[in-house]
A and B are shown apart, each in its own frame.
Chain A
Amino acid sequence: MFNIKDPAIILVMYLDVVLLILTLLLLALVVIFRLRLDNQERGRERFMQVWQPVMDQSMYGLAQLVPRHSAIRIKPADTMNFLLLWNRLQEVLRGEVRENLNAIAHSAKIDAAVLKMLHKGNLSKRLLAINTVGHLRELSAWETLVDIVQENQNPILALTAARALARMDGEKATAVFVPLLVLHKEWPASHVVGILKELNLESFSRCLADAILRAVETDVPRLVRYLRFASGETALAVVHDVLHKYNNAEVLSACLYVIGEFGDRHNLGDVRNFAKHHSWVVRLQVAHVLGKIGTRDDIKILLELLTDREWWVRYRAANALSSLPFVTIAEIEQFRLVQSDTYASDALTQILVEKRLLV
């Protein structure tokens, strides 16, 4: 018989009380969160009512200074709202308009506030502060930003700092960033690209080329992929050297892709050599590049690739044939009719229909 004196029941009753109190406390916390959020939302709306028109005017050069009216001064509680709005606009706008926004920020003395935020506060505040000093080209923050990139405590923080450096001085930032790019394999390419686009093209191309030629084989494919954001001339010179240095499929495929981006008929020799490479990934890239820069002499190679054992190579070869500007639909039809290989014929049939649908 289990009654109220049973130790298990007593334990359960105590647990009941503790759990119910805990639940009610948590509920109270949830409600407090919600009320605080609603309050913040109202504050944000009030802020936007005042500041959105000011920002709009500043974009057209009509409000270079913060109006002196007390209602329009930035209160400490509104700093984050200001930074969010300001940074959002900076990210979508280009040219002179950005300078007008900078003038507004200086006038509102936001630069002093963000310099303090660089060192303290939570991650989201620091990210905003770093982005802001980048847009403002606040050179006094240079050393702090270099430290953040080099310490790399958090990849997003480090890459945001690198982007800010690139905005401040694209040439100097290249010397800081590229050697670190070689080291940090974990940096997501999708984030890195945004920085590369802000660097000085010539110095970045030179630095990356040096880094690739000195890199260990495992790092080469990753770095070669960034060559598409370098100058075409440097990129082609580097891939020419790399293609003769390695036989790694990943490296070759990355190099061929770069030739497809920048190359012309002068680079065809580098491409044709790999049409019979043992890796289908390389043969696929050959087909892709020949479709972009190939000549009539390459039709024979593409027809051979049409009978490749890998579906993707056949499909890309058919695509390449159809994209060569001097090959007509009638010619492709003719290639299809004379094909003894069923797979090649299927690939061409599909491409012909795709072409017709696109027309």
Chain B
Amino acid sequence: MIEWLGSFLQWFFIIYVLCMNLGYLTLNISSLLSILKYMQTRNFESFVGISADFMPPISILVPAFNEENTIETTVRSLLQLDYPQFEVLVINDGSKDRTLQTLIAAFDFQPFPEAYRVRVPIKQPIKGIYCSAEHVNLRIVDKENGGKADSLNAGINACRYPLFCCVDADSILQRESLKRVVKPFMEDPRTVASGGTVRIANGCTVKGGFLVNVSLPSNFLALVQIVEYLRAFLFGRLGWSPFNALLIISGTFGVFHKETVISAGAYRTDTIGEDMELVVRLHRHLRLTGKPYRITFVPDPVCFTEAPEDIKVLRNQRIRWQQGLSESLSVNIALLFNRRAGVVGWFAFPFMVIFEWMGPIIEFGGYLFMIVGLIFDMISLQGFMAFFILSVSLSMLISVTALMLEEMSFHVYKGVKNILLLFLVTIVENLGYRQLNSYWRLIGLYRWARGKEGKWGDMNRSGSWGQNQTHINKKTPGQFSS
């Protein structure tokens, strides 16, 4: 019986790992084709300007909680974005520090009697609205603390333009970021949401809120996250985009069609992963009502964000992410195998459920099975090693293909030395980090199953880049960081 069970589990894990990686490799091919197509016109379009006449105006929503260190630099850099018409709305979500006072002093904000209309219900009341006397396109919505989703909903109510862009208060954008992410809206009027690639800012140099030099960080955790982000964005997301089955647009930087978001119910305030949940719900809402739409991903690195370099912060982040993912998928389960759900319901959603949502259980179970099998002599050392090498080599193959996509497109990290260092990271991450990550994700899953409400935790941001010129080398992310 034990032998039979062992044999079953062994084949189950082999087939699971193979299916997962086959899925990733398929996404990889899809990404490869997308990148090749995209890069053929990108260079040309960078100088043969797209006319500003039909660029839709955008409201940039910046939810802020205790951001006094970075908020001024963030807003100044947003005001310098290269885009014809936009407004910036900072939503001060009951900050306990001097976020509001810092903004008022820096931009000469005056109380503003806005005819505020409630199109999306909000949990916490608005205390006041301010408009800058220096920049007429800059306002603050000051409200009681209600969380990031509640802040974004308050921002949606106050924003004036047909598209809105949510930006984390610690995001570092490129001057061209908005133009790049809004391009799908101009090329296809069915577009309702668009996201871009988020990269790790650790190790980079920032001046005036903009990135001036990209290099690799010295911290191991930050290095591993660079490889993770490359994998996640360059094929995890880009791969699904051509099939209109992208399930995640990072809350760090994404553009949405306001009326569509409102008709789908805007951000849910009872979930910790409000960014992913909104995108999955948009799919559900639009697929099931039969409305034509596109949710698109732009491979350009449009936004840089600081990654945690502290193991405790990273642990909390990963637990939250898994909890958020579980919530997003479980509340939109109606999409799964729905006859109207197309590629999203029949491929992307099940893929997410089996390999991302349930992944930690199976992955952790696999490790446990191997160890128990080895201890109780159910599996030989050679067998154990063969399985372990399979897991490592598949992970390395996926990571190296991500590195290849990066080299074929944006080659942000210069020099052969950097590539070899990142390759080394793809090996080393399998010796402890990956297992630890699975464990954290398992905790996230457990917390979701227990119905434990996710908390962002009260963390202080370093604000190191909020200076004139700074080399980013450490991170303690703020409450609203994704």
Contacts and interface: CB of A to CB of B under 8 A. Distances in A.
Interface of A: 1-4, 6, 8-9, 11-13, 15-16, 19-20, 22-23, 26-27, 29-31, 33-35, 37-38, 84, 87-88, 91-92, 122-124, 127-128, 131, 156, 160, 188-191, 193-194, 197, 228, 311, 314-315, 343, 346-347, 349-350, 353-354, 357-358
B33 interface: no
Given A16-B390, A124-B44, A26 B379 contact: no
B396 interface: yes
B51 A4 contact: no
A91 B48 contact: yes
B386 A16 contact: yes
Contacts of B114: 350
A351 B310 CA distance: 49
Contacts of B40: 122-124, 127
Contacts of B43: 84, 124
B419 interface: yes
Of the listed residues A34, A35, A127, A347, the one surrounded by the most CB atoms of chain B closer than 10 A to its CB is A34
Given A1-B378, A191-B50, A350 B393 contact: no
Interface string B417-445: 00110010000000000000000000000
B404 A26 contact: yes
A113 B400 CA distance: 38
Contacts of B6: 2
A194 B49 contact: yes
A189 B383 contact: no
Contacts of A13: 386
28 contacts: A2-B380, A2-B383, A3-B383, A4-B382, A19-B390, A23-B400, A30-B423, A31-B419, A33-B408, A35-B416, A84-B47, A87-B48, A122-B40, A123-B40, A123-B41, A131-B48, A190-B51, A190-B55, A191-B51, A193-B51, A194-B48, A194-B50, A197-B51, A346-B115, A350-B112, A353-B110, A357-B133, A357-B136
Nearest to A123: B40
Contacts of B379: 1-2
Contact of B390 (A12, A29, A191): A12
B189 to A, nearest CB: 9
Contacts of B53: 189-190, 193, 228
Contacts of A37: 407, 411
A188 B43 CA distance: 18
A4 B136 contact: no
A26 B397 contact: yes
B186 interface: yes
Interface residues of B, number: 59
Of the listed residues A6, A27, A33, A191, the one surrounded by the most CB atoms of chain B closer than 10 A to its CB is A27
Contact of B393 (A4, A20, A156): A20
Interface string B265-298: 0000000000000000000000000000000000
Interface of B: 3, 6-7, 10-11, 14, 18, 39-41, 43-45, 47-51, 53-55, 110, 112-115, 117, 131, 133, 136, 186-187, 373, 377-380, 382-383, 386-387, 389-390, 393-394, 396-397, 400-401, 403-404, 407-408, 411, 415-416, 419-420, 423
A346 B49 contact: no
A226 to B, nearest CB: 10
B187 A188 contact: yes
Given A16-B393, A19-B394, A193-B53, A8 B11 contact: yes
Contacts, number: 164
B113 A346 contact: yes
A354 B43 CA distance: 41
Given A123-B41, A188-B186, A357-B131, A315 B115 contact: yes
Contacts of B186: 188-190
Contacts of A193: 51, 53-54
Contacts of B41: 123-124, 127, 156
Nearest to B426: A23
A340 to B, nearest CB: 16
A12 B403 contact: no
Contact of A6 (B377, B383, B393, B420): B383
Given A193-B54, A228-B53, A346-B115, 11 more contacts: A1-B379, A8-B7, A8-B11, A15-B18, A34-B419, A37-B411, A84-B43, A91-B47, A122-B40, A197-B51, A358-B136
Nearest to B10: A8
Of the listed residues B373, B386, B396, the one surrounded by the most CB atoms of chain A closer than 10 A to its CB is B386
A193 B55 CA distance: 11
A127 B48 CA distance: 10
A97 B194 CA distance: 39
A122 to B, nearest CB: 6
A38 B44 CA distance: 21
B54 A33 contact: no
A19 B390 CA distance: 8
Given A16-B390, A19-B393, A19-B397, A4 B383 contact: yes
B396 A3 contact: no
A23 B51 contact: no
B400 A26 contact: yes
B429 to A, nearest CB: 14
A127 B41 CA distance: 8
A194 B52 CA distance: 9
Contacts of B48: 87, 91, 131, 160, 194
A311 B40 CA distance: 44
Contact of B403 (A30, A35, A314): A30
A347 B400 CA distance: 57
A233 B379 CA distance: 86
A8 B187 CA distance: 50
Nearest to B50: A190
Contacts of A228: 53
Contacts of A311: 115, 117
B404 A3 contact: no
